[in-house]
Amino acid sequence: MSQVQSEPSTHNNLRPAFMTPQKLLPVEKCSLGCPILDCCMGGGIPCNSITEIVAESGSGKTQLCLQLSLRAQLPPFLGGLSASSLYLYTEFPFPTRRLHQLSSSLQCQYPQIFASNYDPCDSIFLQSVNTADQLLDIMPQVESFLENSKTRLPVRVIVIDSMAALFRAEFENTASDLIRRSSLFFKISGKLKEFAKRFNLVVLVTNQVMDVVDSGEGVNEVRIGNLSGMYSSGRRVCPALGLSWANCVNSRLFLSKDEYESGLVGGGEKGLWESTDKRGDGFTLFLPHIPLVCPVTFVPQFELLFTSLHGGFASAKK
C-alpha cells in the first residue's frame, strides 16, 4: 500500500488557528456584590456567555440583577467592567425605589469612583418587555444600541428579568405551542450569545421554578441540571421552561428559600409566641468554567444598585 505524504506548507498564515481548551474559558467577570457568591463563581458572572439565576419569588433574583447592573460600573480592579447596563424587565412595576437605594449605597461605598455630580442610575438603561415576540423583535434595536450608543460607559451587561414571565402565561401545553416556544427560545438565546461574543458582554437572565410531582405525574418530573434534587421552601422544585431552555444557557445559579424560626418575639394571653419567616438560605452552582459543582449553604449578603437608558430606552433615574 502506498502512502501519500503531503509536503509541509510554506505559508504559515494558511494554517488553521487552533486553540487550547483553556482559552475557551471566560477571562473577564463582573462581581455580583456578594463575596461568597463571587468566590464560588471564580470572580463573578462571566462574559461571553448566558448565565441564569433560578429561584422562586422573593429569593433575591431581582436584587442580584440590580446589584450586578450597578457594580458593572466599577473599574476591573474592584470587580466591575467599567461599563453601563441594559436592563430588560418583564415583571411590573420596576423596583425604582430599591434601585435608587442601592445606587446611594454604592456611591457611599466608593466615593472616589463616583463624583458628587454623577448618579450611577444614569448608566443603567431600561426597557419594558411584555411578550416573547416583543423580546425577539427588539433584538435589532438592542444590537444598534450596543453598536452606536454614546453613553458615558460602554454597554457590556444585558439583564433580562425574567424570562419565565414571558412564556409561562402566553403558551398552552399543546404540540404547536411547544414547538413555537422552543423556536423562540433558540432564536432569542442565539441572538444573546451572538451579542455576548461580539461585544464581550455579561448576559444575565432570571427564571422561576416549578414543583416536581411524583414519578409518572407529568413532564415536570424531569430533573434538569440538578444533583439529587433541588428544594426550596420545603418543596422539591426544578427550573421552569423545561429542557429546551435549559440547553440555551451556559451557566445556572439556583437560589433556595427556606423557613426558619426567628425566636420568641411577642406576647399575649398565652404567653410568648414564636414566628417564622422565609429567607434565601442557600445556592447551587452549575458552571462549566468551575472545576467542582457542589451545593453550598450560606447567609446572603446582597446589596442592590441602579441605572438609566438612551437611544430608545428609558432611564431608571426618571
Q: Which three cell numbers stand for residue 211?
A: 414543583
pLDDT digits (tens, 9 = 90+) for 268-289: 444 333 333 445 555 555 555 5
Mean pLDDT of 214-242: 65
The answer to whether 308 and 40 are in contact (CB under 8 A) is no
d(Cα 302, Cα 106) in Å, to the nearest integer? 12
In this structure, of 15-24, 36-45, 297-306, the range with the lowest mean pLDDT score is: 297-306
Ranges of beta strands (E only) in the chain are 29-30, 45-46, 49-54, 84-89, 124-128, 155-161, 202-207, 209-211, 230-232, 235-239, 251-266, 273-286, 295-297, 314-315
Mean pLDDT, residues 91-108 taken together: 92
Using one digit for the tens of pLDDT, what is the confidence trace for 149-162?
888 899 999 999 99
Tell me, what's the pLDDT at 29?
Answer: 94
pLDDT in tens, 114-135: 877 788 999 999 999 999 999 9
pLDDT average, residue stretch 176-193: 94
Terminal alpha carbon distance of the chain: 78
CA–CA separation, 126 and 122 (whole Å): 10
Predicted confidence at residue 165, as pLDDT, reads: 92
> In the beta sheet, which residues pair with residue 251?
51
- In this prediction, what percent of the chain has a pLDDT beyond 90? 45
Q: Is the pLDDT of residue 263 over 50?
A: no
Domain 26-315 class in CATH: alpha beta
Say which residue, 155 or 233, is predicted with more confidence. 155
